[in-house]
Amino acid sequence: MSLLVVGSIALDSVKTPFGKAEEALGGSAVFFSYAASFFSPVRLVGAVGSDFPKSHIALLRDRGIDLKGLTVDDGKTFRWKGDYGYDLNVAHTIYTHLNVFAGFKPVIPVEYRDSKSVFLANIDPDLQKDVLRQVDRPKLVACDSMNYWIENKHSQLKRLLKDVHIFFANDTEAREFSGEHNLLKAARYIFSCGPKIAIIKRGEHGVLCASRNYIFSYPAYILEDPFDPTGAGDTFAGGFMGYLSRSDRLSEFALRRACAYGTILASYVVEDFSVRRLLRLKPREITDRYKKFKRLMHL
């Protein structure tokens, strides 16, 4: 089942205590797509500028990601620059230049409108809502957001969530959106807005998955040498949705495995800048780490 993602494509400049990268391939749609492609065909909708390297387009296409929804506009590609200290949970933004992404208005190609699984990456909730109007009765809809939209378009985000099955947020965003400090209460507020599932990302502390009927929490996969956390959340979402899009229903079993695979993909992406580690990743490595993760979780 093809999985549609709508989100940003960027050139990231990142510095951590362990190195730096200049204008590396990034953006929510890129990290999501590459991770999801290990489990499902992916259709990408996004926009780049005329300066976007053709080698990056080839990299995505060679991975099998469908790029009919990629537009190349006159102007410069979205750029982000950030620094991390030894606390890799905290990114210090140096600049954000939206460039052509500032005028991004997603147009879903006719060939994509039968997509049964849709992931709305972090963009304006009005644009997310417009994407759903262009897709014919998707079976599974998930979305992400951020503090900017929570603070400035709270009511629009609430309206969007009426049509969403799974809502992704980090712990700070979940608290701000709900007005609740306790994450279980925050999850209940999210349910009241429409979603059946709340996925609350907690960085190095793992992930909380909650529904009206059950709740579980996974730790992050333990790494000796995490390198760059940029894109880890979107990579988690890609692994999660890529696996889940193959399932017939939102069962607890399917969600548990989706969270595990999302965790595994995120653990690989932080081992290098950009998607470089994912470029080298083999399916057997995912399977091996999944088995180790199961042993870590087993009582």
Question: Is 43:67 a contact under the CB 8 Å cutoff?
Answer: no
Q: Which CATH code is given to the segment(s) 3-297?
A: 3.40.1190.20
Q: Which band of pLDDT confidence, cut at 50, 70 and 90, is reported for residue 20?
A: very high
Each residue's pLDDT tens digit, 245-274: 988 788 999 999 999 999 999 999 999 999
Helix ranges, the chain (H): 28-36, 54-62, 125-133, 147-152, 154-161, 171-178, 183-192, 232-244, 252-269, 276-280, 283-297
Supply angle C-alpha 154, 9, 279, rounded to 5. 125
Given the structure tokens 């492609």, which residue do they identify?
37
Cα distance between residue 13 and residue 53, in whole Å: 15
Q: Give the 3-state secondary structure of residue 92.
A: strand
Q: Which band of pLDDT confidence, cut at 50, 70 and 90, is reported for residue 288?
A: very high
The ranges assigned to domains in the chain are 3-297
Each residue's pLDDT tens digit, 170-219: 999 999 999 999 999 999 999 999 999 999 999 888 999 999 999 999 99
Cα distance between residue 189 and residue 175, in whole Å: 10
Question: Is 150:167 a contact under the CB 8 Å cutoff?
Answer: no
* Residue 180: count of CB within 10 angstroms of its CB: 16
pTM for this predicted structure: 0.95
